[in-house]
Structure 1
Amino acid sequence: MRIRKILNNNIAIVTRGVNESIIYSPGIAFHKKVGQSVSEDEVQKNYVLDSKDRLEHLSYLLTHSEQKMIEITNQIVDWYEIDVDAKIDDYLYITLLDHISFMIKRGQKEEFIMSPLLWEVKKFYPHFYALGIRAVQLISREYAIDFPMAEAVSIALHFINIQDEKTNISEKLQDIGVLRDLLNIIKYHFKTDFDENSINYLRLVTHLQYFIERLNSNRAYNSDQTMLYEQVKTIYPSAYEVVQKIEKYIIEKYNQEISQDEYTYLMIHINRVTERAGN
């Protein structure tokens, strides 16, 4: 790698063939000059971006962020990559560093975010919420700011989003909102609270998550099992009533009707979770 541009003592833009990237390591550019080579062993982090705009954006953020903030961001991403055993798109460094920078500025003014999605993210994405908690604890410790743990939701959403490159944060938030609404329809119909630690509740949540994915792609279950549908409808009339309510919601939200097979599986899962013996 050869240095194309020195941004500060810790950061430089380098070239390898026709490709450019940003390297970071404390003191790496000290006493270096443009055109000199840098070995892999000297580099703590090499940021590889897929466009010139992103490279310039990250260059700006890195040069305007203190070293501690950069290393915190690198540490959080390292935790994620170790947890999922996969390398991620370095674009995450842009969004996460930008988020952490603004988060610290808010925290210094004691302006904290209490996310309305705390319950949803904690329940449906516990692994990413735990990573967010770990990140908030690190930032709180390094900057001596007592952040509420609800701040972990905003960080968790960065990692939730990159699980599916075709899904952006706004779409993911919409799916979480739909899941919450479906659970509330069931809850208020039966006038009961769920045992959120029960196997049947977890199965229902998982089924609803896949149900929402099928709605998004317009791929409903449809195997024409009319006989099974009629049997389940007769055996579980209360579950059938609540699925009718769910269908009204789905028609309004997605302009789609629920197939017989979807009805059948929803009734079965709903009956399991709402039967006292199944909790």
Structure 2
Amino acid sequence: MDVLRVFNNNLVLARDESGVEVILTGRGLGFQAKPGDLVVRERIVRVFRAEDGRDPDHLAGLLAGIPPEHVQLVVDALAEIGLDRVAAKPALVVAMADHVGSALDRAAEGQVVVYPLLGEVTNLYPEEYAQATALLDAVNARVPVPLPREEAVALALHLVNAGFATGDLSASYTMTGLIQQLLDVVAGAHGVVLEPGSVSVGRFVTHLRYLVVRISQRRQLDDRRHSEVGEAVRRSYPEAWETAARLARLVELRQQVTLTPDEVSYLAMHVARIVQDAGVTGEDAPPV
């Protein structure tokens, strides 16, 4: 591998054998190195590859701006709980290491941050919250002043972001509030209690998460050939369709975008399924 740019003694941007730019970390990896030099492979500790068209040079610069001990702390803790694939995402490592560094400073001063959406995060993202709790334990085993349990909420949202290649927690806060509001509308409209642990609710939450991502990427489902299926859903599940239309209006208000008919159709199918699974008789729910 050839060195493209040296950021500091421990981090360089390089080009691998396949011609892809990669971010390399390792003690002394960049010491006295110059663009065009061969990378000293024995010094490489970790290889980061940019995803989703992100600029490797920009990510390397962000990573170089984080104290290396915080980066190593996060990477080691993620690896310990089996999240090596997450630890390989440079954008997530930057965001999480920066957050953990600030949290360590607060802990040293005896400050505790109470994060909003604790109930929503634990209900909507049970897998990520469980991982975040384990991650917090792994971090605390490595630091002199442990972080408070409240930090699991923020760590969980970072893990949610890992699936969408973004380091901006504000987007996850917005998404979480929107999803909870949509679930509340479904429960209220059909007079049911939605169990967070149920398969149908879990699938619906996953669908909503990716709906928000599709909206942000301007890639909504929009297949003209699906229109007949949409009409069939409208005829077969009129109550679910009406609820889905309400959900679509809420999304429009919160996200400033109009959902395509296909997106509304899929919302209706999910609504029909979770209402049926919650014990309401009447419409037979479609498979989703």
TM over 0.5: yes
Secondary structure of the structure 1 residue equivalent to 2:66: helix
Aligned twin of 2:107: 107
1:57–1:94 CA contact under 8 A, matched in 2? yes
Sequence identity percentage:
17
Aligned residues: 263
CA distance in 2, matches of 1:14, 1:229: 54
Shift, 1:109, TM fit: 1.8
**Residues 170-179 or 95-104, more deviating:** 170-179
Match 1:58 to one of 49, 56, 63: 63
CA contact 2:108–2:145 (8 Å) conserved in 1: yes
Asked whether the 8 Å contact 1:24–1:46 carries over to 2, the reply is no
Q: What one-letter code is carried by the residue in structure 1 that aligns with 2:155?
A: I
Distance 1:103 1:228, change over 3 A: closer
The alpha-carbon deviation at position 258 of structure 1 amounts to: 6.9
Distance in 1 (alpha carbons) for counterparts of 2:155 and 2:189:
34
1:138-186 residue CA offsets vs partner (Å, 9 max, x unmatched) = 2323334343333123223333223233795444433322211111112
Cα displacement string for residues 25-80 of structure 1 (whole angstroms, at most 9, x for unaligned residues)? 3xx58xx8668987423443456785555444433433xx5x4x443122134357
Q: Distance in 2 between matches of 1:39 and 1:170?
A: 39
Matches within 5 A, 1:188-207: 188-207=188-207
For residues 199 and 150 of structure 1, what CA distance do their matches in structure 2 show?
27
Deviations 1:235-274 (A, max 9, x none): xx5x465445434423433453674734742452243143
Letter in 2 for 1:24: G
1:44 aligns with 2:45: yes
- The residue identity in structure 2 corresponding to 1:268 is A
CA gap of 1:275–1:215, structure 2 versus 1, over 3 A, is farther
**Which residue of structure 1 lines up, in the alignment, with residue 258 of structure 2?**
256
Q: Distance in 2 between matches of 1:34 and 1:207?
A: 47
Letter in 2 for 1:59: A
Q: CA RMSD in A?
A: 4.3
Point out where structure 2 has 5 or more consecutive residues left out of the alignment. Answer: none
Moved more, 162-171 or 96-105: 162-171
State the match for 2:73 in structure 1.
72
Specify the SS of the correspondent of 1:224. Answer: helix
Which whole-Å CA distance do the structure 2 matches of 1:220 and 1:14 have between them?
Answer: 40
- Which amino acid in structure 2 is aligned with residue 179 of structure 1? I
Give the match's secondary structure for 2:237: helix
1:230 aligns with 2:227: no
Note the alpha carbon deviations across 1:78-126, whole angstroms, 9 max, x for none: 357x546577343443322222111100111222233223333333333
Matched residue, 1:275? 279
Q: CA deviation at 1:21?
A: 5.6
C-alpha distance in 1 between matches for 2:99 and 2:165: 19
TM-score by length of 1: 0.68
| 5+ long unaligned stretches in structure 1 | none
TM-score, reference length from structure 2: 0.67
| Cα pair distance change 1:276/1:149, threshold 3 Å | farther
Q: 1:20 and 1:182, CA in 2 relative to 1: closer, same or farther beyond 3 A?
A: closer
CA pair 114-193 structure 1, distance change in 2 beyond 3 A: farther
Are 1:219 and 2:224 matched, yes or no? no
Higher Rg:
1
- Quote the Cα distance in structure 1 between the aligned partners of 2:249 and 2:44: 57
CA contact (8 A) 2:129 2:152 kept: yes
Whole-angstrom CA distance in 2 between matches of 1:272 and 1:12: 54
- In 1, the alpha carbon distance for the partners of 2:142 and 2:166 equals 34
C-alpha contact 1:121 1:153 (8 A) present in aligned 2: yes
